[in-house]
Structure 1
Amino acid sequence: MLRRMSLTADVLAHGILPGVAAGFLIAGLSLPAMATGGLVAGLLVAVGAGALSRMTGGREDASLAALYLVALAAGVAMVSMRGGAVELTNLLFGSVLGVDDGALLLMAGAATLTLAALALAWRPLVLECFDPGFAAAVGARGAIWHLGFLSLVVLNLLAAFQALGTLMAVGLMMLPAIAARHWSRRLGGMAYASVAIAMAASVAGLLLSYHADLPAGPAVVLSAGLFWAVSVLVGPVDGLAARLLRRRHLAG
């Protein structure tokens, strides 16, 4: 979000789909096979977009868009070759009832690795986000940290796909982060706020799914979207209500 690359997570979410589909074709609904295939595909998309833009002189976002469309179409076609509508729906939108011990261990492992990696890379990532020119001048190796961060994004999307699906997982990743900017001006405060919003949206979405008989993935993302809308309206940092009050105060 700070690097204005919010849609990159959406691209990577679709980028893992061909790998997940390949694992499904080879081993059926096997979490290790689908997770391995998704990880390889996601990393290839993340690295491939940057490599293509450097080799051809084009824009990285254009390369990401092209890879995203090809990956999405290829993944849907591969799943349709062997599976039916149920398997395709589960891969795209997830199934909370299908989360087993293996999926929970994958989520816990991804969360643990992500927390440790962010603790190690926090300062270089902040420097790379706010002043990439200075980071390059002092030899901070911003490209390496950036690639490592994208790898963490792929890993977290992969850990979430069984519960939320490849289409919905990115919603729980990005909406809380976008909403958090309306609650703090400090990066640490944004991180705390985004975690709190994501947890609240997860609980609210599961309750909505149960009581309204809705798919869990879309219900969780809709809940996150509601928290974002509330943040835009009443958030103390650049919220619409705060801006309106400020204008009235200056006008008075």
Structure 2
Amino acid sequence: MTVLHPFIEFGFMRRALVACVALSISATPLGVFLLLRRMSLVGDALSHAVLPGAAIGYLISGLSLVAMGTGGVIAGLSVALLSGAVSRYTPLREDASFAGFYLGSLALGVTLVSLRGSSIDLLHVLFGSLLAVDNAAVLLVSGIAVVSLMVLALIYRPLVIDAFDPGFLRAQNRWAAPLVHGIFLVLVVTNLVAGFQVLGTLMCVGLMMLPAAASRFWSHRLSGILVAAMSLALLASFSGLVASFYLSLPAGPAVVLCAAILFFISILLGPCGGIFRSHGFLSIRKE
């Protein structure tokens, strides 16, 4: 088949697809919970917040996965903790605190990369190089996906309770809510670092949040939303890579663009609140 030819013929296409599949099944469920907790923009903020740490790792060791990944995790968690502390002990709200820290982090990271690297290195950090993913990156992303799914399964029940009724969770155990929230933020940052290795800091949040937002139009049940989100992410990954191969498009942006197209289709045609369905444009009137 024509659509399968690139993956059968070329190893770099297979590696890119495996990396995207791993991100789709681990990062997208976290995006669903970010939406449920009204923290959708926090994912975008944290994706930019990993940049200074990744840039420091790049300055020390070049394009090293271990150094850049470790620096990104430290920077992302630092911004998350600092933003939470500022919103707790000052009148500033959490969204404004995150905005301030991530904008500063983005500017600092770009500056650090520019001090040593070329414009090509900067583009690699910001937008990734999906088709240049090697075996080490695939193993890293796949390992993070496996660990993320296992941890998410362990905290799934309290995480759901905290998303829908945080007061009940605090009443049951005063330490449960902050512990679950902390573990959840660690998972988000770790998956954003994994996505950063593949799609870059500006694109990785797209595969996390766009399918998650689109899935709300395909099911009313949380289990159905999670399945729909992962399915849409997988479809966006496959179609984006095929489009990049045949249309000579940059692979990472093509994947995120396909996710955005699926998001708009869901808004229009989704059976659970889609514009055409909810207004009866597609309904068949019986005479």
Fold conserved (TM > 0.5)? yes
Question: Any conservation in 2 of the 1:183–1:190 contact (CA below 8 Å)?
Answer: yes
Give 1:30's aligned residue: 64
Give 1:225's aligned residue: 260
* 2:189 maps to 1:154: yes
CA displacement at 1:246 relative to structure 2: 8.4
- For 1:235, give the aligned amino acid: G
**Aligned match of 1:182 in 212, 217, 224?**
217
Greater relative contact order (Cα 8 A, min sep 6): structure 1 or 2? 2
Q: How does 1:233-248 map to 2 (within 5 A)?
A: 233-245=268-280
Show CA shifts across 1:145-192 (max 9, x none): 011111101111111112210100000000000000000001111000
CA displacement at 1:97 relative to structure 2: 2.6
**Aligned match of 1:110 in 130, 134, 144?**
144
Give 2:169's aligned residue: 135
**Aligned match of 1:79 in 86, 100, 113?**
113
How many residues were matched structurally?
A: 251
* 2:91 maps to 1:57: yes
- Please, what is the CA RMSD of the aligned residues? 1.7
Q: How does 1:5-20 map to 2 (within 5 A)?
A: 5-20=39-54
- For 1:109, give the aligned amino acid: G
* 2:87 maps to 1:41: no
- What is the aligned-residue identity percentage? 52
* 2:208 maps to 1:173: yes
Show CA shifts across 1:126-148 (max 9, x none): 00000111111111611210111
CA displacement at 1:248 relative to structure 2: 8.2
* 2:228 maps to 1:193: yes
User: 2: distance between equivalents of 1:137 and 1:249?
Assistant: 49
Question: Any conservation in 2 of the 1:52–1:58 contact (CA below 8 Å)?
Answer: yes
Q: Give 5+ residue unaligned stretches, structure 2.
A: 1-34
TM-score, normalised with respect to structure 2:
0.84
- For 1:104, give the aligned amino acid: V
Give 2:37's aligned residue: 3
Runs of 4+ with >2 A deviation: 246-250
Q: Give 5+ residue unaligned stretches, structure 1.
A: none
- Give the secondary-structure state (helix, strand or coil) at the position aligned to 2:114: helix
Sort the Cα spacing of 1:248 and 1:72 in 2 relative to 1 into closer, same or farther, 3 A.
same
Show CA shifts across 1:11-33 (max 9, x none): 00000000000000011111111
User: 2: distance between equivalents of 1:158 and 1:53?
Assistant: 24
User: 1: distance between equivalents of 2:61 and 2:132?
Assistant: 17
Sort the Cα spacing of 1:249 and 1:63 in 2 relative to 1 into closer, same or farther, 3 A.
same
CA displacement at 1:98 relative to structure 2: 2.3
Give 1:125's aligned residue: 159
Question: Any conservation in 1 of the 2:215–2:226 contact (CA below 8 Å)?
Answer: yes
Question: Any conservation in 1 of the 2:129–2:198 contact (CA below 8 Å)?
Answer: yes
User: 2: distance between equivalents of 1:181 and 1:124?
Assistant: 21
Show CA shifts across 1:72-105 (max 9, x none): 0000000000001100001000001321121111
